[in-house]
Structure formats: C-alpha cells, structure tokens
Structure 1
C-alpha cells in the first residue's frame, strides 16, 4: 500500500506540467542537508505526554484533526504560534486539565464544545470546527465499533507495523486521502502515516511507538514541505501557478496543480533518500519530512506564501 504512494507519485512527477523537480540540484541539495538533525525528539512544549494510554489517546485525537491549513488564515491563533501548534497546544491543555477524551466523548462532541476546546468561538473559525467535530465524532464511533472504545487496542492491532496502522485508520472518511490524476489513482494518506510517525516519536520507538517498518513511510504530503523544497530551489512551479499562490488564491482540493505539488514533493524526497543512501547515509523519508517541516518554521519560509487548499487531508 505504501509502495503504491511512491509509484503513483513518481508517475505524477513524470507527467507533471505545472511542478518540476530540478534533478540536477538533487546531489548538492542532499549534501547540504544537516543530517545531524535527523534524530528528532518529541516536542513536549507543544504536545501532551502522560501515561502511555493517555499519550496514545492524545496522538490519535490530534491526528484526527491534523488538517485545515487552508483555513488557518481565518483561525484565531495563539500568540507566536502557527495554526498547527495552536491546535496541538489547545488539545494538550484540554488533556492536562480534564484528562483524555474518551471514545464516547469524541463520538458525542458538539461543534460548540469543539470550538471552545480549540479557542475558535468566533464566526470565522466555525467552518473548520464543524470539520473537526465530525472528524472526532468519526474517531469515537470507529473506536467504539471496532476496538471497544480503546485507543491502545487500535495501535495493538497494528502489530508494530506502520503500514498496518495506516490501513486501520482508513475506514474513517477523513483519512481516505486519495486523489485522481487524469485517471491515475494517487494515494497520499498523509494523516494516517503521520499517526505512526508521531507515536514513534512520543514513545522513542518502543512500546506503542514501535513500528518495524517505519522506513516504509513516505513524507506526509501537506502544503509546507513542498513549499520548503520550492524556496530551496529543488521544485519549480509554473509561472501562472506561482502567481496564483502569491495572490493567496485557494487551489481546489483534488485539482491538477494541488495533486502535482503534493506528488512531486513526495517523489523529490524519495529521490533525496536514494541519493543519500547511495552516499552511505541510512536516512528515511520520515526523517527528512520532519527535518524539512521544522525548517519551514523559519522566518524566511514563513515570509513567503505557500499554496492553500481547503481540505480535510492536510
């Protein structure tokens, strides 16, 4: 299943008309990457860490709503925090103050309660909060139906396989991250994959965070990692597409440019992994994703507009 992502994204990159990977820059770019930063730690400043069971509940709950970048310009953000970190910290505080949300609580969570929890009671934030509440309702219902309401039972069912965890999350509609590119089925599964990655980080690769096939993950195709690759000169966008992004124009979910941006970024990092491995560096796409995503928090990347799409997939 994860191999299908790689194959499909490579084919999109081959056909792409609006987004191009600058192959001639791959070797230099790979050499310049700070590989000493490839061992990230779990960020407890912005993320909850409690008992093993509570931490699993937090991560699965967070990744159920780890989307909305196309809505973030309208999100009421906490001072100094991005949209994602606003969401992560709000959920962290809810867990610290009231304990983990049970599957029953998630199933029954109203839009109003969801908006209060994430600090989005203003009108502009409600469209995203409606999507968040539906995503959390779906998670709660799914856990109750398949796993007796237990977050850890879902992770246990993956049997230490990241790919199996991805498959277990896909029955929920908002995890079904698949596009159609001129008749080609292109899966991304961004949030399902990142759930395995987040668990691995939180548990240091042990216990509920042990996945024997973590290296099989691709990058978690969103709107930030492609932006970093573009700013760094590894990706080039068609002039008209670049102008649309600069104007802040929304790209339609599932449109040709939106698919090309995500797919060519996936393929670009796969090529980087191949180049680095040829040079003797045992790196993974997951590690490079975290490195590039964190690089995207720097001011020079934040200062430039990146593509925005209103979608439940990232």
Structure 2
C-alpha cells in the first residue's frame, strides 16, 4: 500500500483540476471527536455464515462491485443482497466451475434484476476470470487466498492483483504510474469488517489499507470542503457529464481523495493519540455519501469502482 500512498501523494502535488484544502481538513477534524462507528453490515444486506463460503461470497461481490450509476435504480445494496439471496438459495452458486459459465442473463437472474446491468459484459468476463483462476491456483476457494497471506492485508492485495488482472486498478498520470487498488483493498476491508477482525478477517496490518477511491468519497470530501475542484471540472460534474476513465480529472479525483483522507487520518491520530484506520474513515465517508444521494458525483464508466 506504500505505492498507493506515494503515487496518490504525487498526483495531489501535481494536480491541475483538484485541490486538497489543508484548512478544510483541519476544520473537519476539529468537528470530529472520534470516528462515528459504522457497523460493517449495517443494513443486513450481506451473506455471512462465519466460514469459507462467506469469503467466496465477498470475493464474488467485490469482483462485481463497480459502476452502478448508469442505472438510476441500481445500487450496491441490490448487488450485495441479490448475491446473498442467490447463495442462500443455492450454496454452490459461486463454485469456481460455475463462475466460469455464467452469462449476462444468468447473472441478471442471480440478482433478480429485470434489465441489462451496466457494463454487463465486463461483469461476466470478470466472473469467468475469478472462477478460472480460483480453480487453477487456489483449489476453487477464495478462502485459500486469504489463508496463504499470513494475516497480512498488504500481502492479500498483492496476491489478488498478481493473480486477477481485473483487480489491477492502475492509471497513467502525467507520465507516472498511479496505483489505486479500490476493489482489491475493499476485499480485505470487507473481510475485516464481516469477521470483526477475527478468523478470515484477522489482519496484523489492517492499518496499511487506504480508503477505497470510488465516486462517492470524492463527492463527500467536496461537500465537506476537503477537496476543491476547478471551475471546469465542477461544471462537468454538476452537469452529470461523463469523465473518461484514465483522464487527468478522473485520476486526480481518486488519488486526491486517498491523499486527503490520509492527511485527515494523520491529523486525527495526532489529536487523539490513538491509531485511526483509513478503513474506518472510508466506511464513515461512504455511509455519509449514500445517505445523501443528491450529492453530485463524477461519472466514469470503469470496472474499478
């Protein structure tokens, strides 16, 4: 995760469209006595049986956890609860051999979704990729990935991005490679949250995980006065116009969000004298954002978030 932090900081220091406002960070931190604790499964939308099937569920969930906004009625909750219901109905639904064979219509049926999903072909491709590599390298079980990592979230992210190309959330920005790793990191965070830091969710280095740079967190940070946009970028976002994947604007929105929350975390740790986890800040910011659906967010068609 050092690469994520370092390259995000580099983007923030060379940004043309997004500014991280230090005074805005200080103001927000002054108003927070402690991070409001958000229970990981606060709406009961996830499958959980305290065993390896939960790990399999979370890996499938995070393989598909991207790009909801083109369909105004679709949300993360539909994905999480739809996959939960399908697994409750058929415990073999996410077996590696079956993941390799799903079609778009079959995925829709799993989720009980009445029309084509955004980037449906990509979602199906990623399901096939996950099933194939799980079968080839991990005896079909996502739990075997976790067990191979020796309670290290950093190693887990490294193994996932090495074995599963669909999780390689990289961008090129002004001649520099930038590492963001949203979905690989959120798998570690989901495990930690679901298992409450025990069993498959026990990581000795959970503090190494950064926030998960998506389209909600930048919108919340803008609302809080932590991020400031150029007038051109602000007008694009407020008009609900699309921003190209890998564009300077998109990379800056995501990388500056990571950098800004790292600065928030450091300041809060100094203030409280206790370790503050980026993963806790991320969950708080994300829950704040989904409770304010009218917040204007950037729109990018991407498999990474």
Give the TM-score normalised by the residue count of structure 2: 0.95
Do the aligned partners of residues 127 and 292 (structure 1) sit closer, same or farther apart at CA in structure 2, a change above 3 Å counting?
Answer: closer
Partner of 1:281: 274
> Does 2:9 match 1:10?
yes
For 1:115 and 1:73, how far apart are their aligned partners in 2? 16
Q: Distance in 1 between matches of 2:101 and 2:235?
A: 43
| 1:161-200 correspondence to structure 2 within 5 Å | 161-170=152-161, 171-200=163-192
CA–CA distance in structure 2, aligned partners of residues 34 and 260 of structure 1: 29
- Of 278, 283, 295, 1:290 maps to 283
Report what 2:20 is aligned to.
21
Match of 2:144 in 1: 153
Verify: 1:30 aligned to 2:22, yes or no. Answer: no
Aligned to 2:110: 117
- Give structure 1 stretches of 5+ with no counterpart: 78-82
Other-structure match for 2:53: 54
Shift of the 50–44 alpha-carbon distance from structure 1 to 2, 3 Å rule, reads farther
Q: Which residue in the other structure is 2:70 paired with?
A: 73
Deviation at 1:17, TM superposition (A): 1.1
SS in 2 for 1:37: coil
Instruction: Quote the RMSD (CA, aligned, Å).
Output: 1.5
Displacement of 1:286: 1.0
Q: How does 1:227-266 map to 2 (within 5 A)?
A: 227-266=219-258
In 2, Cα distance between equivalents of 1:311 and 1:34: 36
User: Following the alignment from structure 1 to structure 2, what is the Cα–Cα distance between the partners of residues 96 and 281?
Assistant: 40
CA deviation profile, 1:251-295 (whole Å, cap 9, x unmatched): 100000000000111000010111111112320111111111111
Provide the C-alpha distance between the structure 1 equivalents of 2:284 and 2:34, rounded to a whole number of angstroms: 9
What is the CA–CA distance in structure 2 between the aligned matches of 1:73 and 1:119, rounded to whole Å?
18
Distance 1:160 1:263 in 2: 27
Give how far 1:174 is off: 1.4
Q: Distance in 2 between matches of 1:34 and 1:119?
A: 42
**Hey, what does 1:224 align to over in structure 2?**
216
Query: What is the SS of the residue equivalent to 2:70?
Result: helix
Q: Is the 8 A contact 2:241 2:299 kept in 1?
A: yes
Q: How many Å separate the matches in 1 of 2:191 and 2:218?
A: 24
Change (3 A) 1:21 1:210: same
Q: For residues 10 and 61 of structure 1, do their structure 2 counterparts lie closer, same or farther at Cα, with a shift above 3 Å needed?
A: same
Count of residues paired in the alignment: 302
* SS of residue paired to 2:2: helix
Distance in 2 of aligned mates of 1:44 and 1:250 = 30
In 2: Cα distance, 1:287 partner to 1:179 partner: 25
The counterpart of 2:204, out of the listed 212, 223, 230, is 212
In structure 2, C-alpha distance between the alignment counterparts of 1:74 and 1:28, rounded to whole Å:
35
1:88-107 correspondence to structure 2 within 5 Å: 88-100=80-92, 101-107=94-100
Please report the TM-score for the alignment, with normalisation by the length of structure 1: 0.92
User: Gaps spanning 5+ residues in structure 2: where?
Assistant: none
Distance 1:118 1:243, change over 3 A: same
Partner secondary structure for residue 308 of structure 1: coil
2:67 is paired with a residue of what secondary structure?
A: coil
Offset at 1:34? Answer: 5.4
**Aligned counterpart for 2:129 among listed residues 127, 138, 163:** 138
Render the CA deviation track for 1:176-196: whole Å, top value 9, x for unaligned.
100000111100000000000
Q: 1:103–1:140: 8 Å Cα contact kept in structure 2?
A: yes
SS at match of 2:213: coil
Moved over 6 A (4+): none
